[in-house]
């Protein structure tokens, strides 16, 4: 979102499950992301960060990522909430915990039952977004919005972990291919975890 608005970021990796005192003093709920500017109070959490970025950096020369149309704006927030909390809670956080969190903490092998449940939930979410994107240009309607970036971020995470079955993704695959090709999104495809390599076609724009 920041890159889309022409604003650079310096990223710092944090493992919230470590509950390190310096981090907890800034984010008592161990919530990410946290935005920090010199001389300003930290902005903590996804919704506060999105609101801050939109108000602080949205350019006046082009449309922002919250549509001006009230109905489309409401749909953007509805789907943003769906992705961040429903998809996040039912799929992404379980796969991240089992595949990354446990490995980083040296806390045993992934629980195959949890992985199966998360992938079953993912299939249901993909059916829903295939249905939405089958009749819309973007998730919330005719304009690209925050909900598109949120969905693309989760798809990118799940693709990195090797949990996306793109052969059966339908309209969601076409949507993600468009998002993957945006100049603002491409740098994310170069990110790597030190403890886990990405899936084979993660960085490919044609996948």
Q: Count of domains in the chain?
A: 2
Please say whether the beta carbons of 99 and 106 come within 8 A: no
Same domain, residue pair 36 and 76: no
State which residues form the domain around 162: 70-190
Assign 44 to helix, strand or coil: strand
What is the Cα–Cα distance from 99 to 114, expressed in whole angstroms?
11
Same domain, residue pair 43 and 127: no
Per residue of the chain (207 residues), give pLDDT as tens. 898 898 888 989 888 888 899 999 999 999 999 999 999 999 999 999 999 999 999 887 667 899 989 999 999 999 999 999 999 999 999 999 999 989 988 888 999 999 999 999 999 999 999 999 999 999 999 999 999 999 999 999 999 999 999 988 899 999 999 999 999 998 889 989 888 999 998 998 887
For residue 199, being part of any structural domain is answered with no
What global pTM score does this model have?
A: 0.90
The fraction of the chain above a pLDDT of 70, given in percent, is 99
For residue 202, being part of any structural domain is answered with no
| Two structure tokens written together for 145 | 């919005």
């Amino acid at each position: 979102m920041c890159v889309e608005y022409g604003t650079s970021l310096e990223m710092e990796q944090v493992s919230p499950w470590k509950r390190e005192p310096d981090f907890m003093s800034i984010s008592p709920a161990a919530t990410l992301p946290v935005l920090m500017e010199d001389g300003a109070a930290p902005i903590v959490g996804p919704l506060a960060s999105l609101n801050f970025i939109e108000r602080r950096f949205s350019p006046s020369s082009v449309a922002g990522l919250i549509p001006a149309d009230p109905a489309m704006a409401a749909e953007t927030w509805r789907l943003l909430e769906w992705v961040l909390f429903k998809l996040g809670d039912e799929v992404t956080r379980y796969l991240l915990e089992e595949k990354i969190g446990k490995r980083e903490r040296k806390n045993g092998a992934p629980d195959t039952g949890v992985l199966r449940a998360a992938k079953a939930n993912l299939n249901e979410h993909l059916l829903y977004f295939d249905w939405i994107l089958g009749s819309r240009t973007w998730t919330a309607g005719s304009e690209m919005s925050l909900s598109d970036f949120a969905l693309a971020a989760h798809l990118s995470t799940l693709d990195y972990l090797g949990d996306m079955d793109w052969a059966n993704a339908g309209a969601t695959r076409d949507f993600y291919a468009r998002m993957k090709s945006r100049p603002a999104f491409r740098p994310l495809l170069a990110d790597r975890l030190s403890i886990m390599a990405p899936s084979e076609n993660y960085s490919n724009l044609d996948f």
